[in-house]
């Protein structure tokens, strides 16, 4: 069996557990890819994440050749989706995609003849298939971009159909590697360039670098072309950087901790924001990091040790249950949420939630915010943030919190580069939001509270 055949079978195994909700994509890939080399791991990730990004669009394509796709078993459907994804979006020889899909189906005792017929029929007629044009803009955008219709409807009502389409397309883009540099950004850019890697400073975060990829001489048309690089091929001292999206970096600047302060990171793991807060404080003061997930806390501990930080103390537990002594000058609550703002990194989010989940998550967020706020000193600042674009998890949480906590007010950020992301609600309250399609970064919401007494 060829290496890529084996990789395709691993991809089907990953999709099976992801679509049933048994595992998240990263966990499934980490578990299944241990014996693969870097090239095979990249191929596996492309297959799995590609099908996740375009599942519903692939299903629509297959509906042209199958009377009832839903009557097929899950493994056969995933096999067909994966083959069509390769034929539509990857530089895979047609014969390889078809033959290996058929071979996999035979080895599983599935419908090999049907898979062969569908794929060969697709090859003959693929040019006849355009884009969905049913007259319902929401349904068409949902099918074209493989997003649930409820998401597209919400975005269309808030930002219009053109922007909703842009946002959905942006969610299907493969995000670049973005670094937070805990040192001299110019020196880091120089080292990357000397190693044949093109990178640029992030336009807003003062400590960020976006990696374009390793250089090629030419793309054959007079333009630039890059090879993607894996995180472990980054030629920088591991103690001077963290892989962190620019939007997440901005959260540290919004909280704006100072040396000597006592800071609480209430939902901290895996620690990107914790370590940034410690750096902004020059590692002077105390950062208390709390989280419930033992595995992610281990990653946090590794990051703290790798970066040589001494101001961070880690506590395992639910912030609503653990005993923490004293109060804090600054608090970050990066709350559990729908993760709709990071679909480009976690495309399974599109299929994981129903619209009703937003209200359920809002209740959790308000509960956490109510508990955490009790730890804030008078005059102290608390940042509430979520990686979501949805108002239920953003401004509605802020309004509801203020309604029951009259000793808190909303204040603006301290840095001018944050102004681009600021907006005011109908009552004049000031919030911050980033958008993937507008800002080329993850979608975050944030609000700064100050305790007045």
**Among 207, 267, 337, 387, which one carries the catalytic annotation?**
387
Contact 397, 369 (CB under 8 A): yes
The SS3 call for residue 453 is coil
Contact 333, 369 (CB under 8 A): yes
DSSP annotation of 203 reads S
Distance CA 87, CA 110 (A): 21
Distances (CA, A) of 160 to 171, 266, 420, 439: 17, 36, 20, 17
207 is catalytic: no
Buried-exposed string 164-203: b where 16+ CB fall within 10 A, e elsewhere: bbbbbebbbeebbbbbbbbeebeebbebbeeeebebebbe
3-class secondary-structure state, position 350: helix
- The DSSP line for 137-186 is HHHHHHHHHT--HHHHHHHHHHH-HHHHHHHHHHHTSPPPEEEEESS-HH
φ/ψ of 118, rounded to 5, equals -60, -45
Distance, first Cα to last Cα, the chain:
69
Q: What tokens were used for 248?
A: 């997440």
Instruction: Enumerate helices (H) and strands (E) in the chain, giving the number of each.
Output: 17, 14
SS3 240: helix
User: CA-to-CA distance for 86 and 84, rounded, in angstroms?
Assistant: 5
Identify whether the C-beta of residue 376 lies closer than 8 Å to the C-beta of residue 327.
yes
Is the CB of residue 104 less than 8 Å from the CB of residue 9? yes
Catalytic residues: 387
């Amino acid at each position: 069996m060829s290496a890529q055949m084996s990789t395709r079978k691993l991809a089907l195994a990953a999709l099976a557990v992801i679509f049933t909700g048994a595992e998240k994509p990263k966990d499934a890939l980490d578990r299944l890819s241990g014996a693969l080399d870097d090239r095979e791991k990249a191929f596996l990730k492309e297959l799995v994440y590609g099908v996740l990004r375009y599942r519903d669009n692939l299903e629509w394509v297959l509906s042209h050749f199958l009377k009832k796709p839903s009557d097929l078993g899950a493994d056969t459907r995933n096999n067909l989706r994966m083959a069509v994804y390769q034929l539509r979006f990857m530089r895979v020889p047609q014969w390889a995609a078809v033959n290996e899909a058929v071979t996999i189906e035979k080895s599983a005792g599935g419908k090999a003849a049907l898979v062969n017929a569908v794929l060969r029929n697709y090859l003959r007629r693929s040019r006849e298939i355009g884009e969905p044009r049913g007259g319902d803009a929401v349904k068409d955008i949902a099918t074209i971009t493989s997003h649930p219709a409820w998401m597209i409807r919400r975005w269309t009502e808030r930002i219009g159909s053109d922007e909703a389409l842009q946002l959905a397309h942006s969610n299907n883009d493969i995000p670049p590697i973005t670094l937070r540099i805990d040192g001299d950004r110019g020196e880091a850019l120089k080292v990357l360039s000397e190693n044949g890697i093109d990178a640029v400073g992030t336009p807003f975060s003062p400590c960020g670098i976006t990696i374009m990829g390793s250089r090629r001489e030419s793309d054959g048309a007079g333009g630039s072309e890059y090879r993607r690089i894996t995180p472990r091929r980054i030629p920088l001292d591991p103690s001077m950087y963290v892989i962190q999206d620019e939007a997440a970096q901005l959260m540290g600047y919004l909280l704006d901790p100072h040396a000597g302060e006592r800071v609480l990171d209430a939902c901290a793991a895996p620690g990107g924001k914790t370590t940034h807060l410690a750096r902004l404080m020059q590692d002077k003061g105390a950062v208390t990091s709390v989280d419930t997930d033992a595995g992610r806390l281990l990653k946090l501990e590794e990051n703290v040790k790798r970066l040589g930080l001494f101001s961070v103390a880690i506590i395992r537990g639910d912030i609503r249950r653990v005993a923490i002594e004293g109060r804090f000058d600054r608090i970050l609550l990066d709350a559990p949420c729908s993760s709709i703002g990071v679909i480009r990194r976690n495309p399974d989010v599109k299929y994981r939630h129903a619209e009703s989940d937003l209200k359920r998550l809002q209740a959790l967020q308000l509960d956490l915010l109510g508990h955490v706020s009790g730890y804030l000193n008078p005059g102290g600042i608390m940042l509430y943030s979520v990686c979501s674009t949805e108002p239920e998890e953003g401004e509605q949480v802020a309004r509801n919190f203020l309604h029951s906590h009259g000793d808190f007010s909303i204040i603006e950020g301290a840095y001018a580069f944050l102004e681009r992301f600021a907006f005011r609600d109908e009552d004049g309250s000031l919030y911050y939001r980033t958008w993937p399609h507008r800002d080329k970064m993850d979608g975050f919401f944030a609000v700064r509270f100050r305790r007045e007494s």
